[in-house]
A and B are shown apart, each in its own frame.
Chain A
């Protein structure tokens, strides 16, 4: 609460850093989410510093539980699970970031166009979106990867495609509100062309919505990658994808629960981080989206 009157000028405007700090204090879960995500990013970037063995390096007798030598135990090939989980962060974040970037960018352009122009363009785009949403998601992913062949590039493309329809719908809703704002009218009055208005005015103003959507989608994309890899239609083994490692653990004999446990904890923790962060960002940046999921 800022009291009115002359003493108003005594207060300096809080710095950005301070604002960010206060926001985090008011939303402890968001802070937890951010810390988890940052930790995972650091692990992914500096994976070789954290890992104790190479990705496909034989370290000790296969299918053993945690020990001082192999912190998370060994898998059925005698590889160090801890090191594979560390390198797995790289795959998850690469797939997550690239697919969400591609998908949300496409959704941003298509959705803004659809919302801004309205009319038949909007109708056609929205009917395509309807059909795409009616198509069962996981089955779409499976069919496309089966067709293109499992590889990291294809997994990224496929998840990006799956992201486009729902993003388009949300961005369109946001663009509809922006379209009627005074500044758009002003731009038009100054003679700006439609495409200039869309790219210079509408899109920058719906970016906050896109950021909120992206945060939650990052978690979803990482889950999707691990599920595809688990089913054998994602990142091909012996790459250290978390999904691949859980799948491999199922065929080990004697059974070794540790080999399934740790990669799953890594997935859950990462997705949890993005969910906490997404919820908090949604509350701060865009109250309209509350309960949208």
Chain B
């Protein structure tokens, strides 16, 4: 087991190293000088050369890469080429927004996805089952950016209503404004994840309900409720937890589309702006953060299996 964990951690480090090279090169291979984009096309050549020097963009790639890795390992994420602010300051200001969005999205997903998935499995081929299944397949087909656009446009056109769009609200000091701001985007994000959790819960429940131990539990006269919750649901949840974990790690880096549409100052909006402006320090740091979140949570989920399902052993 220890051997397995060590190997997996080494592998995770290797993957992140490969990602770091990929993002470093992808940002630089072509597409114009970032300093020209950031300083404007009227900037004098001297000014541009000076900024190049300040940001070390005049050095060869291998030196830039070494410098970046070295500073990242010492916890220095560098400065934004656009605003000049330290990336870490902007990052810590934006993490709470994306984090809250993630928590609310996952809450909707669990509260709606699992119960309706169970109902759908228990009432197989009945109207409630059809409704859940149609919703699930719609949730996976409808583009989030479209729903988000309609969620903003329809109330605006009908009642002239708009949620707070130009400030970052705090859930503790301005709870009402915060819910008006974060509620709609979290629901839009939850559309797809709820759909996939519903489908998965349903198919897992159907499989488990057919198993011998559920028949045994029923045969020994257990209350149907105990059979469904204690025996069937519990055993259906392992893959559901896996997918939920992947959704959490995907949302940790923020959502580019939904944050941009609702003008939420989270990590997704930040990385999108950084990519558009070729802000190397910001884009690199955020990609590494998102990739690390993905790699580490995959590892955590694999290790969690051992706890959830004693039949699984790693060697």
Partner of B272, one of A219, A231, A290, A293: A231
Using an 8 Å CB-CB cutoff, how does the interface string of A278-293 with B read, 1 for contact, 0 for none?
A: 0100000000001101
Partner of B290, one of A136, A144, A256: A136
Interface members, chain B 297-312 (any A CB < 8 Å): none
Is the CB–CB distance between A260 and B153 below 8 Å?
Answer: yes
Partner of A257, one of B16, B143, B150: B150
Is the CB–CB distance between A255 and B156 below 8 Å?
Answer: yes
Q: How far is the CA of A275 from the CA of B16 in the complex (A)?
A: 33
Q: How far is the CA of A143 from the CA of B291 in the complex (A)?
A: 15
Interface members, chain B 138-159 (any A CB < 8 Å): 138, 140-143, 145-147, 149-150, 152-154, 156-157
User: A128-B18, A134-B291, A138-B256 in contact; A267/B146 too (CB < 8 A)?
Assistant: yes
User: A227-B143, A227-B257, A257-B150 in contact; A135/B278 too (CB < 8 A)?
Assistant: no
Is the CB–CB distance between B291 and A246 below 8 Å?
Answer: no
Using an 8 Å CB-CB cutoff, how does the interface string of A250-278 with B read, 1 for contact, 0 for none?
A: 10001111001101100110011001100
Q: Chain A nearest CB: distance from B130 CB in Å?
A: 11
List, in ascending order, chain B residues with CB within 8 A of A291's CB.
Answer: 200, 203, 239
Q: How far is the CA of A86 from the CA of B256 in the complex (A)?
A: 28
Is the CB–CB distance between B276 and A264 below 8 Å?
Answer: no
Q: Which residue of A lies closest to B156 (CB)?
A: A255
User: A138-B256, A147-B27 in contact; A264/B143 too (CB < 8 A)?
Assistant: yes
B98, CB-defined interface residue at 8 Å: no
Is the CB–CB distance between A261 and B150 below 8 Å?
Answer: yes
List, in ascending order, chain B residues with CB within 8 A of A226's CB.
Answer: 143, 145
Q: Chain A nearest CB: distance from B189 CB in Å?
A: 13
Partner of B137, one of A256, A264, A276: A276
Is the CB–CB distance between A147 and B149 below 8 Å?
Answer: no
Q: Chain A nearest CB: distance from B49 CB in Å?
A: 23
Interface of B, secondary structure class, is: helix
Is the CB–CB distance between A135 and B149 below 8 Å?
Answer: no
Interface members, chain A 112-156 (any B CB < 8 Å): 127-128, 130-131, 134-136, 138-140, 142-144, 146-149
List, in ascending order, chain A residues with CB within 8 A of B203's CB.
Answer: 290-291
Is the CB–CB distance between A293 and B196 below 8 Å?
Answer: yes
Q: Chain A nearest CB: distance from B298 CB in Å?
A: 8
Q: How far is the CA of A223 from the CA of B26 in the complex (A)?
A: 23
A230, CB-defined interface residue at 8 Å: yes
List, in ascending order, chain B residues with CB within 8 A of A223's CB.
Answer: 143
Is the CB–CB distance between B18 and A264 below 8 Å?
Answer: no
Is the CB–CB distance between B138 and A268 below 8 Å?
Answer: yes
Partner of B18, one of A127, A255, A279, A293: A127
Q: Chain B nearest CB: distance from A258 CB in Å?
A: 10
A249, CB-defined interface residue at 8 Å: yes
Q: How far is the CA of A243 from the CA of B147 in the complex (A)?
A: 12
**Chain A interfacial residues counted at CB < 8 A:** 45
List, in ascending order, chain B residues with CB within 8 A of A268's CB.
Answer: 138, 141-143, 146
List, in ascending order, chain B residues with CB within 8 A of A271's CB.
Answer: 141-143
B260, CB-defined interface residue at 8 Å: yes
List, in ascending order, chain A residues with CB within 8 A of B23's CB.
Answer: 135, 143
Q: Chain B nearest CB: distance from A71 CB in Å?
A: 19
Is the CB–CB distance between A250 and B291 below 8 Å?
Answer: no
Q: Chain A nearest CB: distance from B82 CB in Å?
A: 15
Q: Which residue of B lies closest to A227 (CB)?
A: B145
Partner of A130, one of B15, B31, B146: B15
Partner of B140, one of A135, A257, A275: A275
Is the CB–CB distance between B26 and A147 below 8 Å?
Answer: yes
B283, CB-defined interface residue at 8 Å: yes
B14, CB-defined interface residue at 8 Å: yes
Is the CB–CB distance between A127 and B275 below 8 Å?
Answer: no
Which of A139, A147, A293 has the most C-beta atoms of chain B within 10 angstroms of its own C-beta? A139
Is the CB–CB distance between A257 and B137 below 8 Å?
Answer: no
Q: Which residue of B lies closest to A223 (CB)?
A: B143
Q: How far is the CA of A81 from the CA of B123 in the complex (A)?
A: 42
Q: Chain A nearest CB: distance from B122 CB in Å?
A: 19
Which of B30, B143, B152, B156 has the most C-beta atoms of chain A within 10 angstroms of its own C-beta? B143
User: A227-B143, A275-B140 in contact; A131/B26 too (CB < 8 A)?
Assistant: no
Q: Chain B nearest CB: distance from A156 CB in Å?
A: 18
List, in ascending order, chain B residues with CB within 8 A of A147's CB.
Answer: 26-27, 29-31
Is the CB–CB distance between B138 and A143 below 8 Å?
Answer: no
User: A127-B14, A139-B271 in contact; A146/B278 too (CB < 8 A)?
Assistant: yes
Which of B16, B137, B253 has the most C-beta atoms of chain A within 10 angstroms of its own C-beta? B137
User: A139-B256, A268-B143 in contact; A250/B149 too (CB < 8 A)?
Assistant: yes
Shortest Cβ-Cβ A-B pairs, 10 listed: A264-B146, A131-B18, A272-B141, A271-B141, A147-B31, A255-B157, A136-B290, A268-B142, A134-B291, A131-B15
Binding site for B on A (CB under 8 A): 127-128, 130-131, 134-136, 138-140, 142-144, 146-149, 219, 223, 226-227, 230-231, 243, 246, 249-250, 254-257, 260-261, 263-264, 267-268, 271-272, 275-276, 279, 290-291, 293
Binding site for A on B (CB under 8 A): 11, 14-16, 18-19, 22-23, 26-27, 29-31, 137-138, 140-143, 145-147, 149-150, 152-154, 156-157, 196, 200, 203, 239, 250, 253, 256-257, 260, 271-272, 275-276, 278, 283, 287, 290-291, 294-295
22 of the cross-chain contacts (CB-CB < 8 Å) are: A127-B11, A127-B15, A134-B295, A136-B287, A138-B256, A139-B256, A142-B275, A146-B31, A146-B276, A146-B278, A226-B143, A231-B145, A231-B257, A246-B149, A255-B153, A257-B150, A260-B150, A264-B147, A268-B141, A272-B138, A275-B140, A291-B203
